[in-house]
Amino acid sequence: MEPLILTAAITGAETNRQDQPNLPITPEEQAIEAKNCFESGARVIHLHVREDGGKPTQSLQRFQESIQAIREAVPEIIIQISTGGAVGEDFNKRLAPLMLKPDMGTLNAGTLNFGDEIFINHPQDIVRLAEAFTEYGVAPEIEVYESGMIDYVAKLVKKGIITHTPLHVQFVLGVQGGMSGKPDNVMYMKNHLKNEIPSATWAVAGIGRWHIPASLTAMVNGGHIRVGFEDNIYYHKDVLADSNAQLVARMARIAKEIGRPLASPSQARQILGL
């Protein structure tokens, strides 16, 4: 198996400080958290940004401030911005931060019920977003929440609309409205992806209680893993995690114990085609 890439989704758009007091919000806080995560084994920071009061935003200035702060604190880390934003965000605002040319960005591959809301990704907008990745020279991470989205991505690859190679696809499992993160689903998604896009690499973001089962299934089957407060705020049931870095360190420790090496910064860039 290739070395393991750990991604830290340090802030997200839905988590708040009422539920997780240690959530990093400001660019300075995010830079400190990114450095701590890197030192614990993370090689990618999945980045949402917030206003000082904690409100999610797709502000170009705020993304620029956070990207700059993180790059100054830990220049080796890969910065992957979110183009999903908060549910309901205007699509043009979601797309705009790509012009800052981060290392990577997320490309959500379909619409789904998202808790009590609907996360809308119209096919025409998905195509527009894919074309923007090519225009700005940013590598996409394709976000899929169920297997039909893999089929749609494969169609866009065949049409030459998604062009980056190797393609990196993340299974976001456990959202209310999408597939759960049970191990059978992880394996089904892995096998389905390999049938449709054989050259693709893959990762899992297990949401909430699915964080551990989905992550460990990925770890022993050649996938990569996302952890962090965007997806899961607990270390154990009903015990809040102290930091994103604590969640990264747990996966790094388990990987070491089973003999799967962590990717170095240069290995992570090579695997992701950066």
The mean pLDDT of 152-173, rounded to a whole number, is: 96
Look at phi and psi of residue 262 and say left if phi exceeds 0, alpha if psi is from -120 to 50, else beta: beta
Across 66-77, average pLDDT: 98
CATH number at residue 224: 3.20.20.70
The identity of residue 206, as a single letter, is G
Q: Which domain holds residue 111?
A: 6-272
Whether 1 is in a domain gets the answer no
Does a structural domain hold residue 44? yes
Q: Tell me what pLDDT residue 204 has.
A: 98
Residue 57 lies in a domain: yes
- Predicted confidence (pLDDT) per residue in 175-217, tens digit: 998 999 999 999 999 999 999 999 999 999 999 999 999 999 9
3-class SS of residue 168: strand
Distance (Å, rounded) from C-alpha 228 to C-alpha 8?
A: 5
Q: Work out the number of other CB atoms within 10 angstroms of the CB of residue 65.
A: 17
What is the rounded distance in angstroms from the CA atom of residue 84 to the CA atom of residue 260? Answer: 31
Q: Going by C-beta distance under 8 Å and a sequence separation of 6 or more, which residues neighbour residue 170?
A: 106, 141, 142, 143, 144, 202, 203, 204, 205, 226
Q: What percent of the chain has pLDDT over 70?
A: 99
Q: What is the mean pLDDT of the chain?
A: 95
Q: How many domains does the chain have?
A: 1
**Does residue 191 lie within any of the structural domains?**
yes
Please give the model's pTM, rounded to 2 decimal places.
Answer: 0.96
Write out pLDDT tens, residues 207-216.
Answer: 999 999 999 9
User: Could you count the other beta carbons within 10 Å of the beta carbon of residue 20?
Assistant: 17
CA distances from 14 to 52, 175, 206, 242 (A): 15, 12, 15, 18
